[in-house]
Chain A
């Protein structure tokens, strides 16, 4: 059986499984559609949240970004896990006690203002849609690879699948489907990593293999540092970027994690307040299984690629074009070339492909000496690394099929969760909460589905010119959530001083300033060449657009405090509401709010 059929088989089987579960657990009422009837155990909820959370960015993109940058991209690892500490300590138990369906309902009630609720909805929509763009990029790459077509067509086909999938589910279907998806994606991520770790270090646990030694007794990371510096790239384990930017970037990802609607929504679905606390812990357990493996995947793939391009060592001859075209070990390069995400070119016509950093002065001297005319591995999209990884390491065909299924599971589960958050914001908060309070359950469900379709169309249109690799696009979404939603939620629980005007002003200030900073660097609505600055030379010192969320959050907090100090005090009944949210006793079953 050839690889194409094998991929199709794995992807098809996993889809059949998800669809089967979705049909079995189909949502009947609106409350089931949004919150799964609250009968979900913390461990189950944790597993589903982990699948929901670990998206194309974590599965497909993150290890690739770490592989090509090394230590400097550790921010993704710390940021996307550290946010759960904030969530567990500062938000989850209180929002569960409050007992409504959506994040904006909490903001609307706590800040006794329908304007605050509307502003929250807008913030949620902006962050979620940016997030969906990143997911669609991942979906496009995964579909492009396994159907062996251009990533653009992959994106279009993928978006249809995502839509069909999200529209029929609702939360209840999604919760159980996501448990299945978690199992698929974690297996798919771990198995190739175990094989590769065994090949390179003899240690079956990739997380330990990363700090282990290669056959020659030399530590893996020392060997990797040696090879990448030989080729003129930055040392893998060393810090190169600005410390301030790294701190702010990590902080933005953390705060953003705790401010994303589709993750917070999950903590409304546990039965009790104490379960909300445990649930955050279980979620992180399941996430950590992937996140502890990811840095090993990155480092080992970087080593494998470098060695494949220089089979005789970095001082020997580079790999020949002929070998790339005929040696089965290099077959992955031809398949990935079809997606347009990998490319090479024999610039100096010597029949070999020299892969090195042609911006490095030492290597330029070496190139002049050897007659090289620039780096010949001309295109290596970071997002393909994880999906290509088993092929790069020459693992068996079924592993490759499994990884394709896993990557799609990751992208689909998150895209579905986000679409659900978007549709509930539009139909539940915007339409039923504000514009047409008398709408029937049936038309609310219909509105929810239409808004899902609209969100996908917008995401695909904006995703045609993505502002970065999938994980970077997603990082922008986190910046937006960090600057707008998280501060409002936290102040709503921990301070009785912040009033309606303060919260609205804070959210708007945080959102606008962050969105502005992103557009100035990434182009207006991500349209190429409309940017005034680049992340290589940002407007404010070393602060890149992906790191700005933390500053946006600080602006939000500051504005909210100043404006609250100047306007009328919070009424007593709201102070009582805050008091009651802080105490677990009396947490009933959550009710639908209007």
Chain B
């Protein structure tokens, strides 16, 4: 039974981490890159505004950081909950 509880705790920790990561994922692309772009219009970047940068490059860089962060954090979580591969 305790193994099941621990597995549940592992899974909810994972789901929490996924939700946080996806919130950032949506914020930089759909947010800064598209919907919130008018709000960032005042911040100039190389002849245009920050929203344009997020749409064409910034979001890609954030995506990369997110995936590596998630992989690192999950591999740690696996060990903490004793569910890593042997």
- Residues of A whose CB lies within 8 Å of any CB of B are 71, 74, 77-78, 81-82, 84-85, 88-90, 93, 207, 210-213, 218-223, 225, 237, 239, 243, 246-247, 250-251, 254, 272-274, 277-278, 280-281, 284-285, 288, 291-292, 295, 494, 579, 582-587
CB B59 to nearest CB in A, in angstroms, measures: 5
How far is B49's CA from A222's CA once the two chains are assembled, in angstroms? 11
Given A243-B34, A250-B30, A274:B64 Cβ within 8 A: no
How far is B82's CA from A586's CA once the two chains are assembled, in angstroms? 12
A291 touches B67 (CB 8 A): no
Q: Which residues of A contact B86 (CB under 8 A)?
A: 585
B11 touches A288 (CB 8 A): no
How far is B7's CA from A471's CA once the two chains are assembled, in angstroms? 43
A81 touches B63 (CB 8 A): yes
Most buried by A among B21, B25, B67, B83: B67
CB A536 to nearest CB in B, in angstroms, measures: 21
How far is B11's CA from A74's CA once the two chains are assembled, in angstroms? 35
Name which residue of chain A comes closest to B53, CB basis. A211
How far is B61's CA from A81's CA once the two chains are assembled, in angstroms? 10
Most buried by B among A77, A250, A281: A281
Of residues 25 to 70 in B, which have CB atoms within 8 Å of A's CB atoms?
25, 29-30, 33-35, 37, 45-49, 52-53, 55-57, 59-61, 63-64, 66-68, 70
B25 touches A82 (CB 8 A): yes
A85 touches B66 (CB 8 A): yes
Name which residue of chain A comes closest to B81, CB basis. A583
A78 touches B60 (CB 8 A): yes
B68 touches A281 (CB 8 A): yes
Partner of A584, one of B22, B49, B64, B78: B78
How far is B15's CA from A243's CA once the two chains are assembled, in angstroms? 30
Most buried by B among A78, A254, A278, A292: A78
How far is B57's CA from A77's CA once the two chains are assembled, in angstroms? 8
Majority-rule SS of B interface residues: helix
Name which residue of chain B comes closest to A295, CB basis. B56
Q: Which residues of B contact A221 (CB under 8 A)?
A: 46-48, 52
| B80 interface residue (CB < 8 Å to A) | no
CB A111 to nearest CB in B, in angstroms, measures: 20
Name which residue of chain B comes closest to A293, CB basis. B57
B84 touches A584 (CB 8 A): yes
B75 touches A247 (CB 8 A): no
Partner of A78, one of B18, B59, B82: B59
B33 touches A281 (CB 8 A): no
B21 touches A211 (CB 8 A): no
Q: Which residues of B contact A237 (CB under 8 A)?
A: 47-49, 52
CB A158 to nearest CB in B, in angstroms, measures: 30
Q: Which residues of B contact A584 (CB under 8 A)?
A: 78, 83-85
B60 touches A291 (CB 8 A): yes
Given A74-B56, A82-B59, A89:B45 Cβ within 8 A: no
| B1 interface residue (CB < 8 Å to A) | no
Name which residue of chain A comes closest to B55, CB basis. A74
Partner of B11, one of A81, A213, A295, A582: A582
How far is B83's CA from A251's CA once the two chains are assembled, in angstroms? 33
How far is B74's CA from A89's CA once the two chains are assembled, in angstroms? 10
Name which residue of chain A comes closest to B52, CB basis. A237
Q: Which residues of B contact A278 (CB under 8 A)?
A: 68, 71
CB B42 to nearest CB in A, in angstroms, measures: 15
Q: Which residues of B contact A84 (CB under 8 A)?
A: 63, 67
A89 touches B33 (CB 8 A): no
Name which residue of chain A comes closest to B35, CB basis. A243
Most buried by B among A219, A246, A584: A584
CB B30 to nearest CB in A, in angstroms, measures: 6
Q: Which residues of A contact B61 (CB under 8 A)?
A: 288, 292
Q: Which residues of A contact B66 (CB under 8 A)?
A: 85
Given A221-B47, A247-B30, A284:B84 Cβ within 8 A: no
Given A281-B68, A583-B10, A585-B86, A288:B60 Cβ within 8 A: yes
Partner of A207, one of B30, B33, B37, B57: B57
Pick 10 A–B contacts, CB within 8 A, sort by A.
A89-B67, A219-B46, A219-B47, A221-B52, A239-B37, A250-B33, A254-B29, A277-B70, A288-B61, A585-B82
Name which residue of chain A comes closest to B29, CB basis. A78
Q: Which residues of A contact B60 (CB under 8 A)?
A: 77-78, 81, 288, 291-292
Q: Which residues of A contact B85 (CB under 8 A)?
A: 272-274, 584-587
A78 touches B74 (CB 8 A): no
CB A385 to nearest CB in B, in angstroms, measures: 16
Name which residue of chain A comes closest to B66, CB basis. A85
How far is B52's CA from A277's CA once the two chains are assembled, in angstroms? 30
Q: Which residues of B contact A587 (CB under 8 A)?
A: 85
Most buried by A among B10, B25, B55, B82: B55
Most buried by A among B49, B52, B53, B71: B71
How far is B12's CA from A285's CA once the two chains are assembled, in angstroms? 29
Given A247-B30, A281-B67, A93:B59 Cβ within 8 A: no
CB A437 to nearest CB in B, in angstroms, measures: 32
Q: Which residues of B contact A90 (CB under 8 A)?
A: 18
Partner of B78, one of A223, A274, A586: A274
How far is B14's CA from A278's CA once the two chains are assembled, in angstroms? 16
Most buried by B among A274, A278, A583: A583
Most buried by B among A213, A272, A295: A295
How far is B57's CA from A251's CA once the two chains are assembled, in angstroms? 17
Q: Which residues of B contact A274 (CB under 8 A)?
A: 71, 74-75, 78, 84-85
CB A261 to nearest CB in B, in angstroms, measures: 21
A579 touches B52 (CB 8 A): no
B55 touches A78 (CB 8 A): yes
Q: Which residues of B contact A85 (CB under 8 A)?
A: 21-22, 25, 63, 66-67
